[in-house]
Amino acid sequence: MKLKFLLPLASLLIVAASCTPQREIAYVKDAPRDSAMALEGEFSKGIQANDVLYIYVESQTAQATVSFNQETNKVAVSSTGVVMNPGTGNVQGYLVSQDGYITFPVLGKMKVLGLTNSALARMIEQRLVDEGHLKDPVVTVKLMNFRVCVLGEVARPGQLVVQGERLTIFEALSMVGDLTIYGQRENVTVIREENGSRIIGNINLSSSEVFSSPYYYLHQNDVVYVEPSKRKRVNADRDPIIMTYISSGISIISMLSSTLYYYLLVKQMNKN
């Protein structure tokens, strides 16, 4: 009857081999719950080279705005005076040059590098008024190509195309299905290109200091790389054929133990 212990023992070994300590996969594990902290960091460094900007000009005099909007995004005015909604065409946007300029209709070449979207919108509005083009312009500026790449030990690695300009590291990870159990949460790498320089930084997702990190808010074209844990690297070094044999052996032992246990159990019941 001692064989009856083999099945639970084999099952326990299998479960133990596949378990990862909970604290290794916990986020912000040192932060007190039910607490509040001030927001820190910047979620945008302003307009950068190679950004593609959506710029749309509106006014109460709709016909006067046509010259300031791209051909594919012009305001359409019918004979009844109805103004159609913008954004229905294939909007190409304004590409920011390497030296930080765009060429805007009528106003010409404009330096936009480092400006926020709202600051650029105010600048265009002011010039339209000061130069006598429009009396009541309302300008909308949006970033069209906010992209972030997430690679490494995540469920679905790939490129994220984001609507808007605000994206945190946790939001990006949630969009790719979170880290796997093998993802190293204490040492996530963020590669950032900014003002002609390439910056390689690290962020610790397990610490509350993540919220004050310059990499908590991701920027345009950031690359996030999640390194594999030591456990994953050790497993990768092992011969996959040997691991297959071990796994098959455990399964066979478990099956035999189960069969013998029930055989002996039935035999004991028949004796009684």
Q: What is the CATH number of domain 31-43+146-230?
A: 3.10.560.10
**What would the pLDDT profile of 44-72 be if each residue is shown by its tens digit?**
778 988 899 999 999 988 888 888 887 54
Higher pLDDT, 247 or 233: 247
According to DSSP, residue 246 is labeled H
Residues of CATH 3.10.560.10 domain(s) within the chain?
31-43+146-230
What is the DSSP track for 90-131?
----EEPPTTSEEEETTTEEEE-TT--HHHHHHHHHHHHHHT
Distance CA 131, CA 103 (A): 17
Structure confidence by residue, pLDDT tens digits, 168-179: 999 999 999 999
Question: How much is the mean pLDDT over the chain?
Answer: 79
pLDDT at 217: 93
- Cα–Cα distance between 190 and 225 in angstroms, integer? 6
Which residues belong to CATH 3.30.1950.10 in the chain?
52-78+90-143
The pTM score is 0.63
Integer Cα distance of 108 and 92 in angstroms: 18
Contacts of 29 (CB under 8 A, 6+ apart): 23, 206, 207
Q: What are φ and ψ of residue 96, in 5° steps?
A: -80, 125
Q: What is the CATH number of domain 52-78+90-143?
A: 3.30.1950.10
pLDDT digits (tens, 9 = 90+) for 125-148: 999 999 999 999 999 999 998 999
**Rounded to an integer, what distance in angstroms lies between the CA atom of residue 257 and that of residue 10?**
9
